[in-house]
Structure formats: C-alpha cells, structure tokens
Amino acid sequence: MTDTQKIKDWKNHLVKQDEIDRYLVNGKDFIDDDAIEAEIAANKVTTEEELHAILDKAKDINLMPSKDVAKLVNITDPKMRNEIYEAACQIKKQVYDNRLVTFAPLYCGSKCVNRCKYCGFRTDNDEVERRVLTMDEIKAEAKVLAGKIGHKRLVMVYGEHPETDAQYIADSMRAVYSVKVPTKNGFGQIRRVNINAAPLPIDDLKILKEAGIGTFQVFQETYHKKTYKEVHPAGTLKGNYAWRLYALHRSMDAGIDDVAVGALFGLYDWKFEVMGLVAHAADLEKRYGIGPHSVSVPRLEPAEGTDFSWVKHWVSDEDFKHLVAVLRVAIPYAGLIVTNREKPEMLDSIIDMITQRDADSRLGIGAYADAFPENTITSDGHQESQRQQFVLGDMRSLDTVVQESIKRGHIVSFCTAGYRCGRTGTKIMSLLKAGKEGHFCKMNAILTLQEYLDDFASPETQKMGNALISKELGEIKNRTLDFSQAQLVELKKARKRIQNGERDIYF
C-alpha cells in the first residue's frame, strides 16, 4: 500500500459517526451560534450592586449561569474589570491556595494530515521539517526534562497522522514513564503525562487510559461554527466540528475523567469563545456530573511559513487579562492554564489568577535533547523555527520561574499525586468545590518543591525556597481547622526523608 492510500484508509476508519450522534439532542449539539450572539447582545451589567451579586455567587464555586457570563464579558469599565480581577484572584486562592503547578510540553511529531489555517504543522506548509520521534528519541527528551531541567509533569503533543496514532501515543507515554535519571541528591522521573492530541474514538481512548494518561486535552479552537469552517477546510479530519466537540465526552465514556477544554483566542470574538467554553463545561456537567479539570486559553501566535493577514479578531492584552478573569470566576473549580506563548509581562500580570503554567519549554521536535548534546540521538542542527508549531513569548528558565514565583509567595508545585491516588473526576471535583483539595495538594506541593530545590535549583533559589517552605510549615501549624497536628508531623517527617535523598513521597 502506498503512503497516500495508507493515510486515506486510516482517515476513513477513524471517525465513528455513532460516537457523535449518541450525544446530540434532537439532532443538535450544544452550541447554538445565534443563541450565544443573542445572549451576549441582551445582557449588560447596569449597576455595581448587580456585579457584586454575580461575583459573590461565584464564591460558591459553581459554574456560572451563561446570562451572568454574558454580563461579565460585556464589561469595559476599568474599575469594574478590576473588581472581577480581584474576585478572580480570591477564588483562585480559595480553591487552589497559593500553588502554581508547572509542566513542560513535549512535541512528539510534526506530521499532520490537517490544514488548520493558523498552524505551522499544517500539511501544506513546506517550511516546517516533518519528523516523528522514535521511542529512543522520546526517552532522550524525557531524560533531559526529568534529569537536567527538573520537570515531573508533561503535556505530550501530537499532529494528527497515522504515524502518531493511539498506539504510538500510548507507546510514547510508556517510554516517558520508563525513564528514571540520577540527579544531584536523588533521581528524576516524569510522573504525570497529559495528552494534547486530536479527537479519538472511544476504543482508542481506552488504549490511552491503559497507558496511564493524566488529562486528555482537546481545544475546540473556535466554538463559532462559521469561523470553524473557514479555518479548518472541509474534507479534512479537523473540518468535522461535531467530532471534535464531543472528543471529551468520548473520553469520559472511555473512563478518562480528567479532561481539559480550550479555545484558540484570536480566531473569532473572544466573548463568544468564553461563552462557548462555559457551554462546554455545562454540557459535561449535565451528562457526567463533572466539568473540565482545566481550561486552556492559548492566544494565536505567529508561526513559520504561515500567513496571518486574514485574522480579524486578535485579542488585545487588556481584553486577554479580562477574559482570563471572567473564566476564573465563571468556571471557578477548574484549573486555568496559560502557556509561554504569552510574554513575561502578560504572564506576570495574570499569574495570581491561574493554576498552571509551563516553564523552560521547547517546541521543536527533539529540541530538549538537542539542547543537551550528550543526550542527542539524531542531532540535525536545524533551526528551531523550522521544527516548531509557533513562536514562544517567554523563554525564562525553570529556575527563574521558580524563584520569581517564590518572591510572589507562590509554591511552585511539581505534584503528580492526584491521578495516582484516584483523586480524579467526581472525587477531585467535590474536593475542589468544598475548598478541600488544598490539604493534600499543599503537602504534596511542599514535598515536590523540596525535591526540585535539592536536585536542580540554583543556590539562591534554594535559599529562598527553603525559607518559603519553613514559612508554609509555620502557617500549617496555625491552621488547626484545616490541618491536624498529626498531619504536620507526617509532613515534616516526609520532608526530612526527601532531604535525605528519598524521592516520590506523597499523600
């Protein structure tokens, strides 16, 4: 069989129409473009009191009614926007305390059969080199990430192509989990792998579940159907809006109950996309009793060989900060992920509202190992820009990010305990809503930060981090309603064990 025939055959078997139809209600999906536009047009906040009432309700940590979300997206008054920002920071603290989880992306393949107008990996872009990492190359990447940089958590990213099908994704996850590298005082290991890939049928998703997937992320890109059609040509796999819209429903049905939504901001009006994300969360809640584990808010970035003159909805920095605040209060239980697509100043201005960011990221295929030649299997010396999907805004090192976060009083957490202890799906949702998830997470954040400090941090970061941990232990001692004295004793014992070189201790 020729390559073209192979691709055609694979495409024909991938999309299962009955795995779309079963979710439709009276033949319709849950996004009604006209109804959303009408709701945005009809709802405005008129008084300060009305705004306060909406924000007070958000503190109950329930999904916000769409009418109220419409009211918030329409606000332009800087003072009112600032009140939403303040509420967003407070809700972040209420649900997630002062933790900031960090991770790195690992791009496994740049081959893709789709032609998304905005993406450097689209099949008709000749300016990007095509490559799919071998399992040895993936292990080399993991070795650098876990042994040199200090990450514990990855999101692995794939183009949509038969060479990176579900079996490849599962094998690549297993390859990453198999790597264990000696470090200064212990060992490094990637302990949680999240997946950002194209929609899959239920049977394929079960293969990922079996391989130990953390969260399954699929971004709808745009919820606006007309725009979706314009940027994802008909006849391509990605051109099927409904197949993508129900990707996470299928994931739930395959037993993967940590799912993540996202929209690519800049393709259409950001207000519409915020409403779409909330509608997506509402439909997941309605059917499965739980909403998304996290929400991602990528903004469109320039990409090699890609024309952007058609873009009409670039999101300004002010609007971006506002939409992050609105999402924080509208889906208050969900993690909020912002990536290094953003510049340092933007990341710093929203950091108190978000729960996860990446650090020290490289988007080139094989780029981590290339940066540390002793790990290189096939160094080709090509420029990064030819191998990556888009251009990064923040290139600060993980050590700098950890240090700057500590200065702001944030514990950078490398915790991966949640899914390994079964704290996923409905279990994690009820803990989050009750503001109780923080107990385990706080303790695990302290222990994983200690591991990072002892294995990878610069002397200055180490000093500042140890001071922060001592302060946190002092605070835990006084939070007698939240933490028992026995828990504090256990935590201190575990910290000592880590300082003595033991690794991967969690509650």
Cβ closest to ligand SF4, residue 236 vs residue 376: 236
Which among 217, 207, 198 is positioned nearest to 172, based on CA atoms? 207
Residue that is written with structure tokens 């992920």 in the block: 337
Site of interaction with ligand SAM (CB under 6 A)? 118-119, 121, 157-160, 196-198, 218-219, 221, 264, 298, 300-301, 303, 341, 389-390
Q: Give the type of residue at 416.
A: T
Least Cβ distance, residue 407 to ligand SF4 (angstroms):
36
Least Cβ distance, residue 159 to ligand SAM (angstroms):
5
Cβ closest to ligand SF4, residue 162 vs residue 344: 162
Least Cβ distance, residue 119 to ligand SF4 (angstroms):
3
454 binds, among ligand SF4, ligand SAM, none (CB under 5 to 8 A by kind): none
**Beta strands at 99-107 and 356-358: parallel, antiparallel or unpaired:** parallel
For 62-109, the DSSP string reads -PPPHHHHHHHHT---HHHHHHHHHHHHHHHHHHHTTEEEEEEEEE-B
Least Cβ distance, residue 313 to ligand SF4 (angstroms):
17
Cβ closest to ligand SF4, residue 120 vs residue 335: 120
Least Cβ distance, residue 169 to ligand SF4 (angstroms):
13
Site of interaction with ligand SF4 (CB under 6 A)? 112, 114, 116, 119, 121-122, 159-160, 198, 238
| 127 CB-side CA count, 13 A | 13
197 binds, among ligand SAM, ligand SF4, none (CB under 5 to 8 A by kind): ligand SAM
246 binds, among ligand SF4, ligand SAM, none (CB under 5 to 8 A by kind): none
Cβ closest to ligand SF4, residue 198 vs residue 245: 198
Q: How far apart are CA 250 and CA 199, in angstroms?
A: 9
333 binds, among ligand SAM, ligand SF4, none (CB under 5 to 8 A by kind): none
298 binds, among ligand SF4, ligand SAM, none (CB under 5 to 8 A by kind): ligand SAM
122 binds, among ligand SF4, ligand SAM, none (CB under 5 to 8 A by kind): ligand SF4
Q: Which residues contact 218 (CB under 8 A, 6 or more apart)?
A: 196, 197, 198, 199, 244, 247, 248, 251, 259, 260, 261, 262
Cβ closest to ligand SAM, residue 198 vs residue 259: 198
301 binds, among ligand SF4, ligand SAM, none (CB under 5 to 8 A by kind): ligand SAM
Cβ closest to ligand SAM, residue 197 vs residue 330: 197
Cβ closest to ligand SF4, residue 130 vs residue 423: 130
CA distances to 102, 285, 334, 350 from 431, in Å = 21, 16, 12, 25
Least Cβ distance, residue 332 to ligand SAM (angstroms):
23
Least Cβ distance, residue 317 to ligand SAM (angstroms):
16
196 binds, among ligand SF4, ligand SAM, none (CB under 5 to 8 A by kind): ligand SAM
Q: Give the type of residue at 382.
A: H
Q: Give the type of residue at 419.
A: Y
Residue that is written with structure tokens 């191998």 in the block: 387
Q: Which residues contact 483 (CB under 8 A, 6 or more apart)?
A: 439, 476, 477
Least Cβ distance, residue 117 to ligand SF4 (angstroms):
9
Instruction: For 7-75, give the secondary structure using H, E and C.
Output: HHHHHHHHCCCHHHHCCCECCECCCCHHHHHHHHHHCCCCCHHHHHHHHHHHCCCCCCCHHHHHHHHCC
Q: Which residues of 214-223 are buried (b: 16+ CB within 10 A; e: fewer)?
A: bbbbbbbbbb
Q: Give the type of residue at 411.
A: I
Question: In terms of C-beta density within 10 A (0-12 exposed, 13-18 middle, 19 or more buried), how is residue 86 classed?
Answer: middle
228 binds, among ligand SAM, ligand SF4, none (CB under 5 to 8 A by kind): none
